[in-house]
Amino acid sequence: MDKLIKPNFYYQNIYSINYQRLKDNNIHYLLLDIDNTIGDDKEKTPCKKAIDLISSLKKDFTIILFTNTYPARAKRYGKLLGIPYYAFSVKPLRMNYKKFLKDYKVNTDNVAAIGDQLYTDVLGANKMAITSILVDKISNNESLFTKLLRVRENNNIKKYNLIERGKYDD
Ligand SMILES: [Mg+2]
């Protein structure tokens, strides 16, 4: 399973992702994590910078929030960003990825998933053969459960040489 946590791409944050490259690779749908990817756990609403980014990406991509967070938070982010959401998506389980693919009648080849965690965002996407994109977490504001997963992440990043922190894709 640990090979399945290697991301296809690794960037510092959602602002430094090479979206043109995704577009060139026929990616038309982006599944976007919320917590510590768009905003940290304490940010009740997306920041202006995130709103502007999503707005500019809409001409090239269909963007969907795909988050394990609770529905009220996902709904608030979705509303302010003007995009749909799947809350309680139980990443890395396949269930809601399948629901999304069915809802949008889309092929996995045309989808990329963006998030800050190997054991939810990257593992879930890789299991579905969806392009996986890892970004660094925004802050240390996160649940105890996530903090524990980070220990496992960091151990396996070293053990399996998955990424080099700070060495980002172009
Ligand atoms: Mg996250």
pLDDT for 3: 77
CATH code, domain carrying 96:
3.40.50.1000
* Lookup result for tokens 């690779």: 25
Per residue in 29-45, pLDDT (tens digit) is 999 999 999 999 889 99
* Lookup result for tokens 């709103």: 51
169 in any annotated domain? no
The CA-CA-CA angle for residues 105, 111, 117, to 5°, reads: 130
Residues 83 and 63 sit within 8 Å (Cβ to Cβ): yes
15 in any annotated domain? yes
Q: How far is the CA of 36 from the centre of ligand 1 (A)?
A: 5
136 in any annotated domain? yes
127 in any annotated domain? yes
Side-chain half-sphere exposure of 71, counting CA atoms within 13 A: 0
167 in any annotated domain? no
pLDDT for 41: 85
pLDDT for 42: 87
90 in any annotated domain? yes
Residue 151, SS3?
helix
Q: How far is the CA of 104 from the centre of ligand 1 (A)?
A: 23
166 in any annotated domain? no
pLDDT for 1: 65
pTM of the model: 0.96
Kindly write down the DSSP assignment for every residue of 20-81, as one continuous string. Answer: HHHHHTT--EEEE--BTTTB-TT-SS--HHHHHHHHHHTTT-EEEEE-SS-HHHHHHHHHHH
27 in any annotated domain? yes
pLDDT for 12: 98
Q: How far is the CA of 159 from the centre of ligand 1 (A)?
A: 22
Give CA–CA dist 72/87, Å, rounded.
9
Nearest residue to 85 via CA among 102, 57, 66: 66
- Domain residues for 51? 2-159
Give CA–CA dist 34/149, Å, rounded.
17
Q: How far is the CA of 59 from the centre of ligand 1 (A)?
A: 25
Q: Count up the domains in the chain and report the number.
A: 1
Look up residue 97 and give its two tokens: 């990825």
Residue 166, SS3?
coil
Q: How far is the CA of 117 from the centre of ligand 1 (A)?
A: 6
Which portions of the chain are predicted below pLDDT 50?
Answer: none
Residue 18, SS3?
coil
Strand partners, 85: 65
Q: How far is the CA of 153 from the centre of ligand 1 (A)?
A: 13
